[in-house]
């Protein structure tokens, strides 16, 4: 088909395009719309909040409830901070790891998608990435324990973080095999390196995310998509001793944003 796909409307599991053709949606906006499109409860909640304000430059009480829901859902998350995309969540997780460790390098697995942030961009040979960013990334094959352990041990004095998806998304829904996530988490910890689990996509696979399936507790978890009810969202969560480094009283690591914890996104997230 030489023409792009333009959608007129969506409801439940169905699209209608601008020419009136109807389709069943097996995509769910890259797994974001877990309740389907135009869910009546979410739409009603968003309309009510929109009448009260859409961008206030301050928090609303709903954000507290939203935070509690995320922390109660993901066992490894004591505290959470909200942003506007999964990419931003990954950026902040890596910044926190670098800020606390004083090291710059990041190890990722080939094929895992962590957004459009230069050090972890997918595909790994994408153009426009500086030599400096490439030199700060180590890429190992997915599900290859030996390669990961070798790279971690050999570079432990330079590695700030190990990051991996809960299950591969953009490269195909490929699950971890033979205790791969548990192994990565342990080897990273044994070598004093922060373990970041990217659950932006995989969080939908179980209550508590993939980490609840494999019984692991990452140091930090990045989230997005389903927690925002269809609105721009990202979140980083983890242990309290790590997350407090973002607090204004300490501010060892800086994180700010005009639309962070936006009222509409928070409302849609809670409704979802």
Q: How far apart are CA 269 and CA 69, in angstroms?
A: 9
Look at residues 16, 55, 20, 60 and name the one whose alpha carbon lies nearest to residue 38: 16
* 157 close to 121: Cβ distance less than 8 angstroms: no
For residue 78, indicate whether it is catalytic.
no
Is position 113 annotated as part of the catalytic site? yes
Nearest residue to 222 (alpha-carbon basis) of 122, 116, 104, 88: 88
Active-site residue, selected from the candidate residues 103, 180, 225, 231: 225
Going by C-alpha positions, the residue among 271, 270, 272 that lies closest to residue 68 is 270
- DSSP-derived pairing of the beta strands 79-83 and 105-109: unpaired
Which residues touch 135 (CB under 8 Å, ≥6 apart)? Answer: none
Measured between alpha carbons, how far is 237 from 199 in angstroms, rounded to an integer?
A: 11
Catalytic member of 103, 108, 113, 117: 113
Catalytic residue among 198, 214, 219, 231: 198
Residue 196: strand, helix, or coil? strand
Q: Count the helix, strand and coil residues of the chain and give each as a percent rounded to the nearest 5.
A: 40, 20, 45
Q: Are strands 159-165 and 105-109 parallel, antiparallel or unpaired?
A: parallel
Residues noted as catalytic: 113, 198, 225
């Amino acid at each position: 088909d030489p023409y792009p796909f333009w959608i007129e409307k969506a409801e439940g599991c169905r699209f209608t395009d601008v020419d009136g053709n109807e389709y069943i949606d097996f995509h769910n906006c890259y797994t974001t719309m877990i309740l389907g499109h135009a869910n009546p409860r979410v739409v009603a909640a968003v309309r009510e909040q929109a009448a009260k304000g859409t961008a206030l430059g301050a928090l609303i009480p709903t954000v507290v409830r939203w935070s509690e829901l995320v922390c109660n859902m993901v066992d490894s998350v004591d505290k959470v901070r909200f942003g506007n995309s999964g990419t931003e969540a990954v950026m902040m997780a890596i910044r926190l790891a670098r800020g606390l460790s004083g090291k710059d390098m990041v190890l990722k697995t080939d094929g895992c998608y962590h957004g459009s942030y230069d050090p972890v961009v997918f595909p790994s040979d994408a153009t426009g990435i500086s030599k400096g960013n490439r030199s700060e990334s180590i890429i190992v094959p997915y599900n290859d324990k030996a390669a990961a352990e070798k790279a971690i041990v050999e570079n432990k004095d330079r590695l700030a973080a190990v990051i991996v998806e809960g299950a591969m998304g953009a490269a195909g829904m490929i699950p971890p095999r033979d205790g791969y996530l548990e192994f990565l988490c342990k080897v990273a910890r044994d070598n004093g390196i922060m373990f970041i689990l990217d659950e932006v996509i995989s969080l939908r696979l179980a209550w508590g995310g993939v980490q609840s399936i494999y019984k692991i507790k990452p140091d930090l978890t990045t989230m997005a998509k389903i927690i925002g009810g269809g609105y721009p969202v990202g979140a980083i969560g983890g242990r309290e001793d790590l997350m407090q480094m973002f607090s204004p009283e300490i501010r060892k690591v800086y994180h700010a944003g005009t639309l962070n914890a936006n009222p509409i996104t928070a409302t849609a997230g809670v409704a979802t």
